[in-house]
Amino acid sequence: MTTWTAVLAASFVCLALKALGYAIPARWFGSARAERSIDLLTVALLAALVAVQTLGAGPQIVADARVPAIVVAAGLLMLRAPFLIVVIAAALVAAVLRALGWAT
Which pLDDT tens digit goes with each residue over 33-81?
888 988 899 999 999 999 999 888 888 888 889 999 999 999 999 999 9
- The pLDDT assigned to 104 comes to 60
User: What pLDDT, on a 0 to 100 scale, did the predictor assign at position 6?
Assistant: 95
CA distance 83 to 55: 22
Residue 92 has pLDDT above 70, yes or no: yes
Give the DSSP per-residue string, 13-82.
HHHHHHHHHHHS-GGGG-SHHHHHHHHHHHHHHHHHHHHHHHHEETTEE---THHHHHHHHHHHHHTT--
Amino acid at 60: Q
* Greater pLDDT, 79 or 32: 79
